[in-house]
Structure 1
Amino acid sequence: MAKYVLRYCFELGGTCLWSVNDNAKNKFDYPIDNDELPVSKNIVDELYALEEEYHGYIDWNYPPNPSPWTTKQKLDLKKRANMVYLKLL
């Protein structure tokens, strides 16, 4: 059985899942389209929602500025991202 190694890492303007090994790259490409994952639609929807929310992390009017997010917003996204990560295991 093929082993797929993925990286779970958010990128501004991008996705949060990335292929690490050749098996994963051959099956899912790089980066990974959430819709291609063998997981429930609910998890896919959560991934898209987290990615969309993460795009607000920077000040798009002037990206070098500090993030407009509060500490609470940062911690909340991190908590929810960790919960989705556990669902992917």
Structure 2
Amino acid sequence: MERLRYFFEAGVVGTALWPDDVDSPYGYPAELDRLPIGAALAAELDGLSEWFQSSVDWDYPPGPSPWGRDEKERFNVRARAALEALRAELGPGWTVVDRFRPLD
């Protein structure tokens, strides 16, 4: 069974998927074009990881997010939907561990 962890990382654009093994055939972090998922879902995950980067105040990263409550909620909803779509597309041979921490 294949296993990935799902979370967004500041400074990492293009994926929210992390194999347990750094020597994974899917890359580390996972490269979306190496996974058996459709182009639409790959584009959504890529877009979410890029969008997430703007949630960080790059002048002072440990400080509060520049996003307001509405943008955080929109991101959280889309991130959860993408996780569910990912699990459905990958199917039963895969485990995707939810490590996503909703923005609040």
TM-score (norm 1): 0.86
Determine the structure 2 residue equivalent to 1:4.
2
Specify the SS of the correspondent of 2:80. Answer: helix
Specify the SS of the correspondent of 2:24. Answer: helix
Determine the structure 2 residue equivalent to 1:76.
74
Runs in 1 of length 4+ with deviation above 3 angstroms? none
Q: Greater Rg, structure 1 or structure 2?
A: 1
Cα deviation for residue 72 of structure 1 reads 1.2
Question: Given the superposition, is the C-alpha separation of residues 25 and 78 from structure 1 closer, same or farther in structure 2, using an over 3 Å criterion?
Answer: farther
Q: How does 1:7-86 map to 2 (within 5 A)?
A: 7-14=5-12, 15-20=15-20, 22=21, 25-86=23-84
Higher mean Cα deviation, 29-38 or 76-85? Answer: 29-38
Question: Given the superposition, is the C-alpha separation of residues 26 and 63 from structure 1 closer, same or farther in structure 2, using an over 3 Å criterion?
Answer: closer
* Unpaired stretches in structure 1, ≥5 consecutive residues: none
* Unpaired stretches in structure 2, ≥5 consecutive residues: 88-104
Give the structure, 1 or 2, with the largest relative contact order (CA under 8 Å, sep 6 or more): 2
Question: Could you tell me the percent identity over the aligned residues?
Answer: 38
Cα deviation for residue 25 of structure 1 reads 4.5
Please state which structure has a larger fraction of its residues in helix: 1
